[in-house]
Structure 1
Amino acid sequence: MSATPLQALPIDELRQRSSTKWRKYPADVIPMFVAETDYGLAPAITRVLARAVELGDTGYTPPDPGIRDAFVGFAQRRLGWSVDPSHVFWTGDVMMGVVEILRLVISPGDRVVVTTPVYPPFFDTVEEAGGIVERVPLVRTETGFHLDLDGIEAALAGGARAILLCNPHNPTGTVHTRETLAALADIAERAGATVISDEIHGPLAYDPRAFTPFLAASDAAARVGYAVTSASKTFNLAGLKCAVMIAGATPQAHALQTLPWEVEWRTGLFGALANVAAYSPESDEWHDSLMAALTANRALLADLLADHLPEARYRIPDAGFLAWVDVSDYGWGDNPATKIRREARVALHHGPLFGDEGVGHVRINFACHPDLLREAVTRVGALAGGVTASN
């Protein structure tokens, strides 16, 4: 039996939120840029947070907040991934975890491969850890986006020491195949390099059987890898700081144990409580309903673009609620999101921030009410037709 699609909250309620999505731009702008969703929280999360507020439970995060056991259960149940509990650690958010792991595996000045176009903080994270970004763009074919394994191998042969992987990939929504990930692991192992996989979009794969956690791709992947993830994207918890770091094998687990205590202390108590509730079986039904809503919206967006922006190029994503759309044929400049926001009053993410491959592109967040998605694309379509959209 298929799940009932989750309903987005009414726009008047959403505009009462104080998060970036709803406070960055004026009220006449439809915000579809940052990766926040427009749905209410899973009931289990609401209950645990409401009870914490009622109790005044706002102190320090305890040494064992239950994150380890909750994540291990979720990974097995929802991702088909058996995780050794002794390999699981936690921190404030995914990028914090990435920085700390990079500091373990590279020296200042070492090069780190990133596969552009990619989540903009990847560039800052590498630099924060003392590394130098080496860009190896994805290859685009008729079947979608793919890792350039030859390019990555060449970069490692030239001295790069680590690969920062996005799996599934943001912004393209690509779910890398098990075979591709295993090949990447072999390349890294031959070069003596480390793979750090950001898997925050993993629970948002439309076919869960197609998503392979990097560390589960092969024995070599476990030997060379780390993963960092969180419930924050799926369950809209970005403001509640909590992420999970997973070691691929015992040596990496020992390395994570050497991190300063402060790395774990950065985890917020509300973040820990919310992540444990999100990872519990009680939230599975809500998760299924979310995926039903997103499944409908990703198809709706394709139809809307075909009707209102027929020159746009969009590949329906394999995972996530973010659409990578090439609108370069409309002549709106290298960064079309600026013109779209000013004239159509729709805020989309700026393509060039994801790398040079993002010129002429925008990223659209479609985790919203279908009517809001229709209104946004209609406004942009009016701009494409030479008409400035009115409010």
Structure 2
Amino acid sequence: MKQSIFDEVIDRQNTSSEKWDALSSVYGTSDALPMWVADMDFPIPKEVQEALYSRISHPVFGYTFPSHAVDNAIQKWLKNRHDWQIESAWIGYSAGVVSGIGTTISAFTNPGDQILIQSPVYKPFFDMIEHLDRKVVNSPLLIDNARFEIDFIDFEEKLKSGVKLFLLCSPHNPGGRVWSKEELIKIGELCDQYDVLIVSDEIHADLALSHSKHIPIASLSNSVASRTITLMAPSKTFNIAGLQASLLLASNPEHKKQIEKIQIQNAFHGVNLLGLTAMEAAYQYGEPWLNELLPYIEENIQVAEAFIAKELPALNVMHPDASFLIWIDCRSLGWTDEKLQDTLLNKGKLALEPGPKYGQGGEGFVRMNIGCPRSVLLEGLDRLKRALT
């Protein structure tokens, strides 16, 4: 079998890696295999690394700004990858998608306002709402045939209750669900009907797998676009999260102006020089690398699902439509989440994300990051088996 560039095991210890070097502070142990934080253990595209080398070879690192070349690379990427034609005037920048969530909440709501989410969902959705003194309103997702579905009856009831803003996770984290065009249209129509702003976290958009197609919700129509701010980034796609460069895309000029006002108030003056360098190179040259990565991730998912089905039949994997994360249902074990985590860590020496971290509906689940070389994945699966049998 041909060796893949993604089979190489890269030692990330002692590189200030949160995933590898923060185990002791987060999990209380340093000898567990980390399969928790959502970054991959793969080398970035050579073109991105070479662009960084080239820029570093210049001896001056002064103030910087996003050039037209960066904007052009973003526009071409979104058109080619997602069939979404955007204008350069829509493009704004942020240090990260979580920063973008905080910025948009501050820009378009006031303390005490209600913000709608759909749990289980990425923990910073809760955190940013609460840190900014807004109120979380939750419309929990349903599980039907081991797949997340939107409870549109409950969703509409919550919108009616006076919600100002809806945080959409698309594709969904932790479930890996890519929402269908019909679902997105319905979301857009309901938010339009009840005059609710949409902030769409689409950081996993580029990682839609072969059986799925991600649709940016703002690409559906002008009316949906006019009430949507889309948050995207090359960070998950190309494994460059540490460079902290992401996008806030808004077609409504009034929204763009309000976002910029809040960024100025927060003393945010732009993305760092190397983040912009990496972003431009990734979007301009990274597609062949991504096209090689996605089948490798799919094979990892297949390996994990087959192993768990055979060796741990009490567990059930929610098959993802996107990304390198799998959401594992452990409820049939009948264990508490505390017992599950304790057993994984102390018996299996395996660090997975606990489901309750993602809010209501996460109880009894764990999230496993399979964005790693196949040999590391197999080691992690063996540890999962050792822990639970």
TM-score range, shorter chain: over 0.9
For residues 150 and 219 of structure 1, the distance between their equivalents in structure 2, rounded to whole angstroms, comes to 25
Deviations 1:347-388 (A, max 9, x none): 101110101211111000000111211111112212222xxx
Q: Is the 8 A contact 1:90 1:264 kept in 2?
A: no
Greater Cα offset, 104-113 or 328-337: 328-337
Deviating more after overlay: 248-257 vs 324-333: 248-257
In 1, Cα distance between the equivalents of 2:232 and 2:15? 25
**What TM-score do the two structures reach when normalised by structure 2?**
0.92
Which residue of the partner structure matches residue 148 of structure 1? 151
- Per the alignment, residue 389 of structure 1 pairs with none
Secondary structure, counterpart of 2:74 in structure 1:
helix
Deviations 1:117-154 (A, max 9, x none): 00011111112333111111111112621222221211
Post-superposition offset of 1:307:
2.1
Query: Which runs of at least 4 in structure 1 moved beyond 4 Å after TM superposition?
Result: 3-6
What's 2:12 paired with?
14
Distance 1:150 1:218, change over 3 A: farther
The answer to whether structure 1 residue 110 and structure 2 residue 101 are counterparts is no
Shift of 1:248: 3.6
Matched ranges for 1:116-265 at <5 A: 116-142=119-145, 144-207=147-210, 210-261=213-264, 264-265=268-269
Alignment pair present for 1:59 and 2:58: no
The residue that corresponds to 2:318 in the other structure is 315
Give deviations 1:205-226, integer Å, cap 9, x for gaps.
0148621001012333212211
Partner in structure 2 of residue 292 of structure 1: 295
Contact 2:309 2:316 in 1 (8 A): no
Q: Secondary structure at the match of 2:224?
A: helix
**Pick from 361, 380, 384: which aligns with 2:384?**
380
Partner of 1:364: 368
TM-score computed with the length of structure 1 as normaliser: 0.92
Greater Cα offset, 36-45 or 211-220 = 211-220
Judge conservation of contact 1:5–1:290 (CA < 8 Å) in 2. Answer: no
Q: Which amino acid in the other structure matches residue 375 of structure 1? A: E
Please report the RMSD computed on the Cα atoms of aligned residues, expressed in angstroms: 2.0
Does 1:44 find its partner at 2:41? no
**Which residue number corresponds to residue 21 of structure 2?**
23
Tell me if structure 2 keeps the 8 A contact 1:346–1:376. yes
Task: For 2:309 and 2:110, locate their aligned partners in 1 and report how far apart those are by CA, in whole Å.
Answer: 48
Q: 1: distance between equivalents of 2:276 and 2:325?
A: 25
Asked if 1:74 corresponds to 2:77, the answer is yes
Letter of the 2:182 partner, please give it: E
Higher mean alpha-carbon deviation, 193-202 vs 204-213, is at 204-213
For residues 262-287 of structure 1, what are the alpha-carbon distances to aligned partners after superposition, in whole Å with 9 as ceiling and x for unaligned? 5652522211111111111x211111
Select between 46-55 and 252-261 the one with higher mean Cα deviation. Answer: 252-261
Query: Which residue number in structure 1 is paired with residue 26 of structure 2?
Result: none
Q: Provide the rounded CA distance (Å) in 2 between the counterparts of 1:42 and 1:58.
A: 23
Paired AA for residue 359 in structure 1: E
Q: Is 2:350 the counterpart of 1:346?
A: yes
Is the Cα contact below 8 Å between 2:65 and 2:270 reproduced in 1?
A: no
The unaligned stretches of length 5 or more in structure 2 are 24-28
Partner of 1:55, secondary structure, is coil
Equivalent residues, number:
381
2:31 counterpart SS class: coil
Equivalent residue number for residue 99 of structure 2: 96
Q: Could you tell me whether the CA contact under 8 Å between 2:37 and 2:369 is conserved in 1? A: yes
- 1:9 to partner: Cα distance: 3.0
Shift of 1:29: 1.6
Deviation at 1:17, TM superposition (A): 3.4
Q: Which residue, out of 263, 272, 277, partners 2:276?
A: 272
- Specify whether residues 354 and 111 from structure 1 end up closer, same or farther in structure 2 by C-alpha distance, changes over 3 A only: same
Change (3 A) 1:14 1:260: closer
In 2: Cα distance, 1:72 partner to 1:264 partner: 23
Mark the CA change 1:203 to 1:312 in structure 2 (over 3 Å): closer, same or farther: same
Amino acid at match of 1:371: S
How far apart are 1:69 and its partner, in Å?
Answer: 1.9
Is the contact made by 1:6 and 1:290 (CA closer than 8 Å) also made in structure 2? no
* Alpha-carbon separation, structure 2, partners of 1:289 and 1:382: 32
State the shift of 1:57 in Å.
Answer: 4.6
